[in-house]
Each structure stands twice: as C-alpha cells, then as structure tokens.
Chains A and B, each alone.
Chain A
C-alpha cells in the first residue's frame, strides 16, 4: 500500500520535476518563461503525434523497440525547441515584454495541444477527444524485470520507465553544471547582471538563447512523460491541467536550485494524489483537491519572506538586456 502510494507520488511528481528543472535553467539566464505550461503541452502533443504516426505506419506488425522510443522523444524535443526558439527570438532578439510573451505562449501551446489532440482523435475514429497509445506507452513504461520480485522496495525504487530516471539525472546534471563548471558560472552571471557578464566578454545573447531552448526541451519531456508513463499513453484534451503553473511555482519553492527541485516536485506529486488515496468524500474530498494550490500559496508567501541573498531570484529576472549606447 505504502509502496504503491510512493510509486504514484513519484509518477505525479516527474512531469513537475521536468518543468521545474527546465524553468530553473531558463530563469537562471534572466528569462522568466511564463510560457512553460504551453511548452509542456506542445512537448506532450508533439510526442503523441510522433507516436501516433509511427503506430499507424505499423499496421499491426511488431514495432521496432528503438524507433518506438526515439520517434516520440525526438518529436517532443523538436516541438518544445520550436517553442523555446519563438520565445527567445521575441524576448532576447526583439526585446518583447517577457510576461506578455510568456502568457501568449501558454495560450498558444495549450491551443496547439488541444487542436492536434482533437484532430488525431478524429483520425483515429475515437468518440471523444482522446486517444490511446498503449503500444508506445508500454515501451515507455517498461521497467527492470527484477523490480517486481522485490516488494515495496522494488516498487518505490525500480518500477518506473526510463523517463522518470532521466528527470532525476537531468536535475542532478543541472545542479552540477550550475555549481561546478564555467558554463554554469557564466550562466548565473548572465542572469544576475547581464551588463557585467557582457563586460567580462560573455555572450549574453548566446547564453539566453541556449538556456531558454534547453529549458524548454527539458520541460517538454515533462509533457511527454505525463502522456506516455503517467497516463498510460492516453491523451485527453486539457487532462494535463495546470501542472505547468505548479512547476513555475516550484521554481520559487526550490529557490532556483534543481537539487531541491527534485524533492519539491515529488512532495507536490504527493499532494496532488492525496485526494485519490484518502477514501474521503464530500467536503473533505474537495478540500484535499485544493491542497496543492493551498500549499503553493503558503509556500509563495513563506519564500517571499526569506531575506537571504542566496534565496533571491536572479537579479535581472524578467528584464531584457540591451547595451544602450555602447
């Protein structure tokens, strides 16, 4: 029972973790990408389109184990990358307002997701706007064979698909890059004070573009993980919900540190499924549904009260940089 609960918690937390890590990387460069929810939608639907087309092309024959994984992964990557490029172009090159651009990207991304979700459902001949990609999902959910024989321990540690482990590896990788490499040092400098970084010979534009695009690709994998692993290959319009916004809130909760982001995401995953596991009904059930948002609220209040400099957002976050009269 407890093993199964933790299993679900982790599965819920992983899309948030992808979103959170991606957004941290983006924000470290000084770009506040409020388009994240849209990017995650696009990452999800792009993967779904790839998987759908591949499954259609099979016509009942056995799938190639390599292609069935790589095609959705690549499609997802491309979809989110395009979103990242659009955002970077508007914000870094054209210096558009970051908040407005981000919100537009979210509306745009969610719209794209639902549009293609609906179209593919029609193509597949489904009654409702949902589509089932069980075949692909089985490959994405494949886990190590010995996990089943290890009881709760196996269920908690070894029972997930590769995307789950990838999320944790990426988050740890981001932590290492930030703190142990020159690239990380320069990225932090760009986010804190682009003018200083510029004077030190760091290409602000390059770092902002790269951080935003890489962040979007990572966040997009969150959407893919949600469809393929969490929802067993089932795409339904709007089912992803507001996980993207939660991921942005998690960035603040994790004080821009990907290692804290890992724990924070799983914690929020647990809050998300509290209702389903509590056997409650009526008022209590409704209250439990509210808990993740309530905690977000409290967390934002608490984090905004912490005064230590290390806990503050990158200083130039949300502000576009241009050299002025230089």
Chain B
C-alpha cells in the first residue's frame, strides 16, 4: 500500500506546490476549461469550466441529457472534447483512451459495468495491465486495498456469482488498484439497495479523507445533501454554477437544475366529460436483481384526458407502462379497466393477446421504437400487419387491409418515405415514430400509452405527435404520456403524476403546477414538504 500512498502526492503535485504556495490544503486535481462537445447537431456540453479538488466529493447534478456523463466521459478517455483544455494536477493533458486516463490517475465507474462474468474478481481487476501474471501478489494487494477502505470483496469469487453491488465494488477496486487519484462514479446508487448505498457512501467518505478527488454524477437530491461537499449544476450542457452543499438547500439546487419555464404553445383543450378508465391500485414490481422498481403505485387514468408522467429516467416509468400492457409481471396490486357501461375488467396477469381478446382496446407506443415497437428490416405494410395479422381467414393473412392502412397513415401523418416497401430502419426517427403512433391509434384505442414519444425527434415531428395525442384525447381516449421534457408536460398534460424512485411522489394539476415544484417532486418523494 505504500506505493499508492507515495503516488497520492505525485511528482506533479510537488512541483505545483512550489509555484502555488497560497493554495489551501484542497488542491485542484482537475481543471476543465471551456469544454465544448457536440454530437452532430446536438450540443452535449457548451463552454463548461469545471474544477475538481483533492479531498473533496463533488456532485454533478442535472436532469437527464444535461451533459453530465458526456463531460465526465471526456475525462475518462471515452470522448475527446471538440474545444477546451483539460489540466490534471496543473499539467495540460490530452486524454485519448481509457488507458491514458488510468495513467493520469483518473478512474471512472460507468453505469454499465465492464466486467467479464467467467473471470474472478482479481482477474477482472488486473485485466489489461502489463507484466508477469502473478495472481497471488495481485490478490494480496487487492485485499490490502479492500481492508484500507472497508470494501467487502472475495478476490477469488467469479463475477457471475456476484450481486450488482459487489460488481460495482470490483469496478471501484479496479480503479484504486490502478492507483486512481480521481474517481468518477456515474449514478452509482441507481442499482443499489438503501443499505448498499449507505455502505458505498461510507467507503467514498473514507477515500475522500484519504485525499482522493471524487465526483459522483447523480440526480437524487438526498444523496447530494448527505454525501457531497460541493455541487456543480449542469443544465442543457452548460454549467449553471457551484454550490457548497452546507450552504444550500434542495429548493435552490432544484431551481438551478430545472431553470425557468419556456412557453411552447401546445394546444390543450379542456377534457370533455372525463370518466375513470383505468384504475391502478397498489402496484408493486421487484426486478430480477431484487431492486424495487415500483412501490405501491396507485392512480386513475380518465377518458378524454392526458395523464402526464414525469420523473427522472429509470424511476419505474417503463415498468409501470409495461405492467398495464401485460408485459411486466407484478408482485401485487390490481389494474382495472372500466368499460363504458361501468363494468370492470381486471388486466393484471393477462398477456397482451388476452387483453385484446377481452375487447380492451389498449395501445402502447414503447420507448424502444425499433426494438419493441417496430421491426427495422420490414416495410411499413408489414409493420402495420404486426398489429393486424390475425385478420382475414387463416392461414392467409389479410395484406390488403394493412396495405390500405399503411397508405392512410402515410397520408394522414405525412410520413416521408420513398414508398410503402421501404424498410422502416431507413426512415428518419420522426417518420419511424409517426408510423408507430399511426399504427397504434388506427385501432381507435380506449387507452393510449406513450413512452418518450418525441425523444430524438425534430421540432416539427414532435408537434405532429402532440397533435395526434391531442386528437385522441378529444376522441375520448385515455392518454398516458410519459415524458422527460417538463415544459412539454406542463403544456400538454391535464394532470401530471410524478414518479420518484418507483413511488408516486405526487399527482398534480398540469394547469396550475409550476416547474420548480415539479422538479422538487421528481427529486424527492412528496416534494418540499418532506424537506423538513
């Protein structure tokens, strides 16, 4: 372990100290200057200046798509910045690969762990390093690191036998074994239970006290409050500002995170004669890894109304919609569909086919368009047929119906396509989505559920989709709209249900609620009230 300690006060640090005597004991580990990164026409980061200090835990706070991960990926060698400079320990550096990052003492733990299942913890940790293979010595060193920071790891355990939290520990130990001085964790608690989270935080505090610089990317307010020393807030790729955790509060941070409302001029008519259509009560979903994805979720969807669902991604939106669509097994609860005459059908436990056979007209526009929604290599007609292949006299499918419908959808929604025979993957994202939405609403559904329906779409396609959703609402369809853009939700939805960590954080009126309150509900169950 001596080696690592020596490395802590590196040669660069010592040199730098000669020049900057007045620096406090909190030296700057990384300085990012004027960083800009674009992907095509999308700006991921714009003129960001960031300072990471030794002996400090910095939280990088921001909504989905605010550029937190991209910014950190530039430190870990995954992306190179288009503009700007990076200094590590006072020296300007170019980080071209993860290996360069290791050599500079920067280690990043990604959301998706990069581990090889059939290898042991030790083998995974030493993977890619040079020199003679000496498992025994490596194991001894790993044990030392674990003892020092309080990790609980069996170096000889195979990765496929490990829990998610153990895998994460291996990733962190891997960085420490490579003598990382600057440790970046991308949403480390997303997959952990509360107990595991506490354990992780203890370890991170140990590392901070050991003089390491730690960055955690997160959007969970209570974690920021309990763990970090400083907070850097990002919004739409720009650094909004720094806050010292002790001197701020959740409201201030949330306001910085969500920003001011922007008017979008989306039409929203008053719901006509809303009636209960789907009654969800007490839904619980536990994932295969034992993580509670939905906890006691209850709400009602009404006809002629749009129910928006807001929340940070991964808070149970996918599980919720899939549970209603009959794709997600649930542990308990009930989902009742109310017919026009008031009679009720229990949907829980039924497959999508059974739901259709019951005469329940349910349409689902899933998040994963070309995976769950459509088949990329098939043309528009065939994709339409996925919903209507049972028509016609078996065994011959009724292609004519689908072909006509495909033509109608292309005309009505102005899908830009060379012809109906073009494979769907060749169309742009907006046109793909139009085909999917067109197919789903063509059955004149009683319930329409959409998940991130405008993600990745340009502004015109987005409005075309909003129009279709509004049209369904006017026809008396009960619409569930899962969105990530709060401004859209505020103008489109009649009521907004906010999910936070799988729980209903609140159900609010879309016309009266303001963006900041919504932001608070998203980051903390119950919003501001639970702040005290």
CB contacts under 8 Å to A, within B94-150, are 97-99, 102, 114-119, 123, 126-133
Q: Which residue of A lies closest to B133 (CB)?
A: A182
- Known: A201-B97, A326-B78. Is A186-B116 also a contact (CB below 8 A)? no
Complex-state Cα separation, A195 to B110, whole angstroms: 13
- Does B130 contact A196, Cβ atoms closer than 8 Å? no
* Interface assignment of A180: CB less than 8 Å from any CB of chain B: yes
Return 12 A-B CB contacts under 8 Å, by A number: A182-B132, A185-B126, A186-B127, A196-B116, A199-B98, A199-B114, A200-B127, A201-B98, A201-B99, A202-B127, A309-B117, A310-B118
Complex-state Cα separation, A180 to B136, whole angstroms: 12
Most buried by A among B126, B127, B130: B127
Contact mask for chain A residues 174-212; partner B; CB cutoff 8 A; 1 contact, 0 none: 000000111001101100110111011110000000000
Q: Which residue of A lies closest to B131 (CB)?
A: A182
Q: Which residue of B lies closest to A314 (CB)?
A: B118
* Interface assignment of B12: CB less than 8 Å from any CB of chain A: no
Q: Which residue of B lies closest to A196 (CB)?
A: B114
Complex-state Cα separation, A284 to B97, whole angstroms: 64
* Interface assignment of A152: CB less than 8 Å from any CB of chain B: no
Please report whether the interface of chain A is mostly helix, strand, loop or mixed according to DSSP. Answer: helix
- Does B158 contact A196, Cβ atoms closer than 8 Å? no
Which A residues are in CB contact (< 8 Å) with B130?
182
- Does B114 contact A195, Cβ atoms closer than 8 Å? yes
Known: A185-B126, A188-B118, A201-B99. 15 other contacts (CB 8 A): A182-B132, A186-B128, A188-B119, A189-B128, A192-B118, A193-B116, A195-B114, A196-B127, A197-B127, A200-B114, A200-B128, A201-B102, A201-B128, A310-B118, A315-B117
CB contacts under 8 Å to A, within B223-240, are none
- Known: A192-B119, A201-B99. Is A309-B158 also a contact (CB below 8 A)? yes
Which A residues are in CB contact (< 8 Å) with B158?
309
Complex-state Cα separation, A193 to B112, whole angstroms: 13
Which A residues are in CB contact (< 8 Å) with B119?
185, 188-189, 192
Complex-state Cα separation, A38 to B484, whole angstroms: 55
Complex-state Cα separation, A315 to B158, whole angstroms: 15
Complex-state Cα separation, A192 to B119, whole angstroms: 9
Which B residues are in CB contact (< 8 Å) with A182?
129-133
Which B residues are in CB contact (< 8 Å) with A197?
116, 127-128
Which B residues are in CB contact (< 8 Å) with A181?
133
In angstroms, how far is the closest chain A Cβ from the Cβ of B44?
13
Which A residues are in CB contact (< 8 Å) with B127?
185-186, 189, 196-197, 200, 202
Q: How many inter-chain residue pairs (CB < 8 Å) link A and B? A: 57
In angstroms, how far is the closest chain A Cβ from the Cβ of B121?
13
Number of interface residues of A (CB under 8 A): 21
Complex-state Cα separation, A73 to B302, whole angstroms: 80
CB contacts under 8 Å to A, within B71-112, are 78, 97-99, 102
Which A residues are in CB contact (< 8 Å) with B118?
188, 192, 309-310, 312, 315
Which A residues are in CB contact (< 8 Å) with B99?
201
Complex-state Cα separation, A182 to B135, whole angstroms: 10
Complex-state Cα separation, A309 to B133, whole angstroms: 24
- Does B116 contact A192, Cβ atoms closer than 8 Å? yes
- Does B128 contact A202, Cβ atoms closer than 8 Å? yes
Complex-state Cα separation, A118 to B98, whole angstroms: 54
Complex-state Cα separation, A204 to B132, whole angstroms: 20
Which B residues are in CB contact (< 8 Å) with A193?
114, 116
In angstroms, how far is the closest chain A Cβ from the Cβ of B387?
31
- Does B115 contact A185, Cβ atoms closer than 8 Å? no
Complex-state Cα separation, A33 to B97, whole angstroms: 31
Complex-state Cα separation, A201 to B130, whole angstroms: 10
In angstroms, how far is the closest chain A Cβ from the Cβ of B81?
15
Complex-state Cα separation, A104 to B116, whole angstroms: 32
Q: Which residue of A lies closest to B174 (CB)?
A: A200
Contact residue among B123, B128, B160 (Cβ-Cβ distance under 8 Å from A309): B160
Contact residue among B102, B115, B126, B132 (Cβ-Cβ distance under 8 Å from A196): B115
In angstroms, how far is the closest chain A Cβ from the Cβ of B225?
32
Complex-state Cα separation, A202 to B115, whole angstroms: 14
CB contacts under 8 Å to B, within A58-76, are none
Which A residues are in CB contact (< 8 Å) with B115?
196
In angstroms, how far is the closest chain A Cβ from the Cβ of B104?
14
Complex-state Cα separation, A24 to B392, whole angstroms: 52
Complex-state Cα separation, A309 to B120, whole angstroms: 12
Complex-state Cα separation, A310 to B123, whole angstroms: 15
Complex-state Cα separation, A180 to B135, whole angstroms: 9
In angstroms, how far is the closest chain A Cβ from the Cβ of B130?
7
Which B residues are in CB contact (< 8 Å) with A315?
117-118
Q: Which residue of B lies closest to A326 (CB)?
A: B78
- Known: A197-B127, A201-B128, A202-B128. Is A180-B133 also a contact (CB below 8 A)? yes
Contact residue among B117, B128, B129, B131 (Cβ-Cβ distance under 8 Å from A192): B117
Complex-state Cα separation, A200 to B97, whole angstroms: 10
Which A residues are in CB contact (< 8 Å) with B97?
201
CB contacts under 8 Å to B, within A105-159, are none
Which B residues are in CB contact (< 8 Å) with A200?
98, 114, 127-128
Which B residues are in CB contact (< 8 Å) with A312?
118
Which B residues are in CB contact (< 8 Å) with A189?
116, 119, 127-128
In angstroms, how far is the closest chain A Cβ from the Cβ of B377?
15
Complex-state Cα separation, A185 to B130, whole angstroms: 11
Which A residues are in CB contact (< 8 Å) with B98?
199-201
